[in-house]
Structure 1
Amino acid sequence: MENQLTSELASKTSPLVPREVPQLPLVDPQQAARARRRNTIVSGVLLLLASVAGGLFFSLGRVEKVAEWKTHEVTRGEMVVSVIEHGVLESAENTRIVCRVRGENTVTWAIKSGEEVKAGDELVRLDTLVIEETIYEKTKYAHWSKAGSMVLGNMMRKASLAIPEYEQGRFQVEVMKKQEMIAQRKSDLQTGRNFENHAKEMLARGYESEWNVVQYGTEIKSLESALELEKTELDVLENYQRREKLAELKGEYDKWSAKHYAEVERSGANDSRRDRAIEELGFCVVKAPRDGLVIYPSMTKWKDEPDLQVGKSVHKDQVLLLMPDLAKMQVKIGIHESIVDRVKNGLPVTVKLMDRTLEAKVSSVALVASPAGWWRGNSVKYDTVVELTGINGLKPGMTAEVEVEIARLPAVLRVPASALLETVSGYSCWVETGDGPRRRRVELGDRNDLFVVAKSGLQEGDEVILNPLAFLEDAQLEAMKLFERKEEQQRQQKEAERATAEAR
C-alpha cells in the first residue's frame, strides 16, 4: 500500500514526464510516516480480531466436546457383590405321568396344560387300532400254539410208552423165540447124532452102506452150524440190537418231547403277548393318579412346541405330563464357571417375579457343569437351585430374576465399570480436571454388574468420564495398542503351532 501511495504522489508531482521513462519516486516524509502508522494499526486490529475469533472458536468447540461426555463422581460406601441370572419357576417334586404303551403311538386327545384335575380324570387318549389288531393276532396264535402243543404232547406220550413196550414186550418175545430155536436145534442135533451112531453100528454088521453114514455126518455138521448161528443171533439181540432199539426209541421220545415243550413255550409266549396287549389297551387312556395341576413337560431350548400334541406320536417311558407339588417350588439358574466357587449353600437370594419380590437362600449348587450348547452361547454354567417352599400363588413357568448376594463390602471406593478401559499396562480411567481429562491407572478389586472396587489410583470425589473410548483420543490410542498386542500374541501362537506341526 505504501508503494501505491508513493506511485500516486509521483504521478501528481511530475505530470509532464513520460510513463515509459523510469523515475525515482518523490515521497513526502510526514505523509509516508502517517501511512506506515495507519497500516500498522490496521494490521494489529486484524491480528487481534483473528486471535479473538480463534479463541472463541476453540472455547466453543471445547464446550461442545465437554458437553458430549458424562462423568460420575467416585464415592465411598457399601457395595453389594451379586450375580443376576434369569430362570423359570418349577416344582421341586413332580409326579411324572409317562407313556406305558410300547412302540410309537399317536395322541388322539390331550388335556390342556395348566388344568386342575381330580384323581381318575382322563388326561390323554392314544390310538388303539394297532393294539386291538395285535390282540386279535396274538389270540389266534395262542390258540394255534395250544392246539399244536396238545398234538405234540400225545406224540411225546406215545413215544414214552414205546420204550417199555419194546423192552418188556417185543424184546422178551424175540429172546424167547431165539431160545426156542436154539433148543430145537439142540434136539435136532442130538437126534442126528443118534441116527449117525446107529448107522455106524449097522455098517459094522453089514446092514448099512457107508454112503449113508457119511450123509448122516454131513447133516450133523449142518445142524451144528445152525445151532451156532442161533446162539450168535441171540447174543446180538441181547447185547446190541436191544441197546440200538432203546436208543432209537429214546431219541424219538426226546424229539417229540422237545417239540412239545417248544410249542408249550410258544403258546405261553403268545398268551403273554396277548395279555400284555390287553393290558396296554387299558393304558391307552391315561388317567390322573391324584388331584392337582397338570402341565406339559418343560420345553427344550431349541424347540418351540411341547412333545405332547394331538396327532403326534409318543413312545414308551416318554414323560407325557407333570403334576407339580405347588407347595414345593424352586427356581433353577446357571452360574458361570468363573464365579461358581464363590456361590455357596445358604447365600441370600432375591427373587423378583412379575408381581412380587421374594427373599430366599441358595439350596444347592451342582458339582458337575450342565452340557454347553449353542443356546447357551457355549458357556459353561453350573445349575444352582433356590427353593421357594410354603409360598402361595406360585405357578410353574413363571419367569424370575434371581440375584445371588455373593458378598457385602462396607466403605469401599466405587467406580463405574463403564468408566474403565483395559490397556496394555492394566486398567485405566480418565478423570476430568481443570486442565482437561487425565489418565489414571487403577488397581481393581471386587465388582458387580455396575461398579468396581478401586483399591488405588482414584480418590473420593474424582469425576471419572464414562465410556472414554467413545470421546477421548488417548483412550482410543490405548485401546489400539492393546488390540495390536493381542494380534501379535495370536500371530506368535499360530506360528508356534505351525512350527510344532511341521516338527511332527
Structure 2
Amino acid sequence: MQRGWRRSQIAFLAFGVVLIALFAPASPYFRSDRRKAKSRETVRSVPVRRIDWLTATITAAGRAASMNNSEIRCKLERLTSPGGGGSVSSNGSSTILSVIPDGSVVKKGDLLCELDSAEYQELVRRQTIGVQKAMAEHREAQLNLEIAEISLQSYLEGSVRQAEQEFEGQVALNTSGLARQEDRLAWAQRMLTKGYVSLSQVSGEEETLLRLKFALDQIRMSYQNYQRYSLPRDKRSLQSQVDGARVNLSYQTLRLKLERDRLALFEDQVNRCTIRAPNDGFVIYADEPGQPQRIWEGASIRQRQRMFYLPDLDRMEVQTMVHETVIDRVDVGMAARVRFEALPGRSAEGRVTSVARLPLLDQNSSAGDVKYYLAVVRLDQIPSGLRPGMSAEIEIVTSRLPEALVLPPVAITVENGKEVCYVIGAKGIERREIKVGQRNSDYTQVLDGLEEGEKIVLEPSEVAVTTL
C-alpha cells in the first residue's frame, strides 16, 4: 500500500516538473529576465548621432504628365451646298478609314487618322460649279460697268459738245443773216423814197426780217431748253446706268467672294479628314474608361468627338498629392527628386512650379476626409522612356538644418498618437516618447527625448517579438 502511494507521488512530481518546463517562459517573472538578457544581445540597434546638415524632405506619390497635352477632336461640320439639282449636305460625321496604333510616338505632321471625305468632296464639286458661275456673272457685271461709263463719257465729251456747237453755229448763222436782212431793208427804204423800188418790195424785205428774227429766237429757245432740261436728263440717265452697273458689280464681287469662301470651307473640310499631329508627342486614344472602344478602323466619328490625346514628351512634369499636414512646408521653387516605378535605377531632378491653394475634392469626399493638395514639379531633364501616367515617388527638399540630432525613420514608431522609440540601456530596453522635427527618407530629426550616442532599437517590432 505504501509502495503504491509513493509511486503516485513520484508521478505527480514528474508531471509538475513538465508543466513548469513548458509554461515558465510565458510567466512575467521569467519574461522579465529574458527581456533583460536576450534582448540586449540579439536586437539590432543604431546609435543616436549628430550630422552636419540634415536635408529635410517630404515624400509623396504622383504621376507623370505632359505640360503640353494636345486634345484632338473631329473638326468636321454640318454643311449644305444649295444647287439647281437640289441641295447636298453633310451631317458632320464620318468613318475612320485608317488610324495610327495607340501608344505610337509621332513627330509634328505625322498622319494620325484618315476619315472618309466622300460627302465633302461632292460638296466641293458642286461648289466649284457655283464659283465658276459667279465668276462669269462677275465678269459680265464688269463689262456692263465699263460700257455704261463709256456711254456717259461719250455723251459728255462727244454728243454734248456736238450739240452745243450745232446750236452755236445756228445762232451765229441766223444772227449774221438777220444783220444782212436789216441792211437790205434799210437800203430798200432809201430806194423807196427815190422811187427806185416799189412799196411791195419793201414789205417783202420787212417780212423776211421778221422771219429771220423768229427763227433766231426759236434756235435760242431750243438751246436754252437743251441746257436746262435735255442735257441734265440724259446725263442723269446715263449716270444712273453707271451707278446701277457699279452696284451690280459690287454685288457680284461680294457674291463671288462668298462662293469662294464657301468653296474654301468645303475644301478645308476635305483636308480635315486627314488628321495630322500638331506637335511631337505620344498618341493616346480618347476612349472613356469602362466604355467600349470608340477609335478603330471603320468606327463612326461625330462632330467635335474627342479622338486623340497627344502629350508632348519633351515637356513633362510630375503631379503629386501633398497631405494636408505637410502642405505648409511646400513652396514654389523647392528642389525635388523624382523616381519612376517603370524606370528603375533612374531619377530626375526638378523644381516645384505650383502648389494649389485649395484641396482636391470629389463627389465622394466629406468634411471629415483627409485633404490633399495638388503640387506640380517640372523636370529639368526628361528621362528616356518616360510616358504620361507613369507612377512616381517625389521627394521634395523643404529645408537644410545644421547640426541635427538624427535617427533612421524605421527606429521610430507611433503608439497612441505619439512618436516612440526603444532605448537600450544598462538595465535593458526602455520605451521612451520623443519629439521629432524635419525628416527625409534616411533620417528623422530628434528635437527632444534622446541624447547623442544612445543606442536605439532599429526595428521596434523586434522588441515585441522578443519579449513575447
> What residue is the counterpart of 2:438 in the other structure?
446
> What residue is the counterpart of 2:4 in the other structure?
none
2:352 counterpart letter in structure 1:
V
Aligned residue among 401, 405, 426 for 1:411: 405
2:349 counterpart letter in structure 1:
K
> Quick one: structure 1 residues 314 and 398, their matched pair in 2 at CA, closer, same or farther if it must change by over 3 Å?
farther
Are residue 366 (structure 1) and residue 353 (structure 2) matched?
Answer: yes
| Percent of pairs with identical residues | 19
> What residue is the counterpart of 2:56 in the other structure?
81
Aligned residue among 328, 331, 338 for 1:338: 328
**Larger proportion of helix:** 1
Contact 2:62 2:321 in 1 (8 A): no
Instruction: Please report how far the alpha carbon of residue 141 of structure 1 lies from its aligned counterpart in structure 2 after TM superposition.
Output: 1.8
Q: When the two structures are superposed, what TM-score results if normalisation uses the length of structure 1?
A: 0.53
1:333 counterpart letter in structure 2:
Q
Q: Distance in 2 between matches of 1:228 and 1:303?
A: 105
Contact 1:199 1:213 in 2 (8 A): no
Contact 1:329 1:387 in 2 (8 A): no
Q: When the two structures are superposed, what TM-score results if normalisation uses the length of structure 2?
A: 0.56
Q: Distance in 1 between matches of 2:286 and 2:353?
A: 22
> What residue is the counterpart of 1:103 in the other structure?
77
Q: Distance in 2 between matches of 1:341 and 1:315?
A: 39
> What residue is the counterpart of 2:392 in the other structure?
400
2:93 counterpart letter in structure 1:
T
> Quick one: structure 1 residues 334 and 292, their matched pair in 2 at CA, closer, same or farther if it must change by over 3 Å?
closer
> What residue is the counterpart of 1:163 in the other structure?
152
2:329 counterpart letter in structure 1:
I
> Quick one: structure 1 residues 166 and 258, their matched pair in 2 at CA, closer, same or farther if it must change by over 3 Å?
same
Are residue 384 (structure 1) and residue 377 (structure 2) matched?
Answer: yes
Instruction: Please report how far the alpha carbon of residue 116 of structure 1 lies from its aligned counterpart in structure 2 after TM superposition.
Output: 6.7
Contact 1:85 1:334 in 2 (8 A): yes
> Quick one: structure 1 residues 75 and 249, their matched pair in 2 at CA, closer, same or farther if it must change by over 3 Å?
farther
> What residue is the counterpart of 1:351 in the other structure?
339
C-alpha deviations, 1:141-193, integer Å up to 9, x for none? 20220121122122122112213421343223322331343245325534653
> Quick one: structure 1 residues 319 and 459, their matched pair in 2 at CA, closer, same or farther if it must change by over 3 Å?
same
Q: Distance in 2 between matches of 1:191 and 1:117?
A: 106
C-alpha deviations, 1:335-376, integer Å up to 9, x for none? 75623327524x4x24141573533212x4325859976459
> What residue is the counterpart of 1:64 in the other structure?
none
> What residue is the counterpart of 2:139 in the other structure?
150
Aligned residue among 285, 292, 296 for 1:296: 285
* Structure 2 stretches lacking a partner, 5+ long: 1-44, 79-91, 366-370, 423-431, 457-468
> Quick one: structure 1 residues 244 and 74, their matched pair in 2 at CA, closer, same or farther if it must change by over 3 Å?
farther
Q: Distance in 2 between matches of 1:449 and 1:419?
A: 21
Contact 1:416 1:450 in 2 (8 A): no
> What residue is the counterpart of 1:113 in the other structure?
102
> Quick one: structure 1 residues 352 and 99, their matched pair in 2 at CA, closer, same or farther if it must change by over 3 Å?
closer
* Structure 1 stretches lacking a partner, 5+ long: 1-72, 422-427, 433-438, 464-504
Q: Distance in 2 between matches of 1:193 and 1:417?
A: 146
Q: Distance in 2 between matches of 1:401 and 1:353?
A: 8
> Quick one: structure 1 residues 152 and 355, their matched pair in 2 at CA, closer, same or farther if it must change by over 3 Å?
closer
Q: Distance in 2 between matches of 1:311 and 1:372?
A: 40
2:138 counterpart letter in structure 1:
S
Q: Distance in 2 between matches of 1:240 and 1:397?
A: 88
Contact 2:120 2:269 in 1 (8 A): yes
- SS of residue in 1 equivalent to 2:61: strand
Contact 2:329 2:398 in 1 (8 A): no
Q: Distance in 1 between matches of 2:359 and 2:331?
A: 18
- SS of residue in 1 equivalent to 2:241: helix
Are residue 230 (structure 1) and residue 219 (structure 2) matched?
Answer: yes
1:341 counterpart letter in structure 2:
D
Contact 2:93 2:301 in 1 (8 A): yes
Q: Distance in 2 between matches of 1:312 and 1:131?
A: 15
> What residue is the counterpart of 2:429 in the other structure?
none
Q: Distance in 2 between matches of 1:199 and 1:147?
A: 75
- SS of residue in 2 equivalent to 1:114: coil
Instruction: Please report how far the alpha carbon of residue 295 of structure 1 lies from its aligned counterpart in structure 2 after TM superposition.
Output: 2.5
> Quick one: structure 1 residues 232 and 451, their matched pair in 2 at CA, closer, same or farther if it must change by over 3 Å?
farther
Instruction: Please report how far the alpha carbon of residue 131 of structure 1 lies from its aligned counterpart in structure 2 after TM superposition.
Output: 1.9
Contact 2:106 2:283 in 1 (8 A): yes
- SS of residue in 1 equivalent to 2:285: coil
C-alpha deviations, 1:69-93, integer Å up to 9, x for none? xxxx999457763323333334678
Q: Distance in 2 between matches of 1:388 and 1:171?
A: 86
> What residue is the counterpart of 1:140 in the other structure?
129
> Quick one: structure 1 residues 130 and 338, their matched pair in 2 at CA, closer, same or farther if it must change by over 3 Å?
farther
> Quick one: structure 1 residues 419 and 192, their matched pair in 2 at CA, closer, same or farther if it must change by over 3 Å?
farther
Instruction: Please report how far the alpha carbon of residue 132 of structure 1 lies from its aligned counterpart in structure 2 after TM superposition.
Output: 2.6
C-alpha deviations, 1:284-319, integer Å up to 9, x for none? 1335799996333698xx998999684343549x88
Instruction: Please report how far the alpha carbon of residue 274 of structure 1 lies from its aligned counterpart in structure 2 after TM superposition.
Output: 2.3
- SS of residue in 2 equivalent to 1:338: helix
Taking CA–CA contacts closer than 8 Å with sequence separation of 6 or more, which of the two structures ends up with the larger relative contact order? 2
Contact 1:117 1:294 in 2 (8 A): yes
Q: Distance in 2 between matches of 1:417 and 1:312?
A: 57
> What residue is the counterpart of 1:185 in the other structure?
174
> Quick one: structure 1 residues 132 and 183, their matched pair in 2 at CA, closer, same or farther if it must change by over 3 Å?
same
Instruction: Please report how far the alpha carbon of residue 278 of structure 1 lies from its aligned counterpart in structure 2 after TM superposition.
Output: 3.1
> Quick one: structure 1 residues 329 and 198, their matched pair in 2 at CA, closer, same or farther if it must change by over 3 Å?
closer
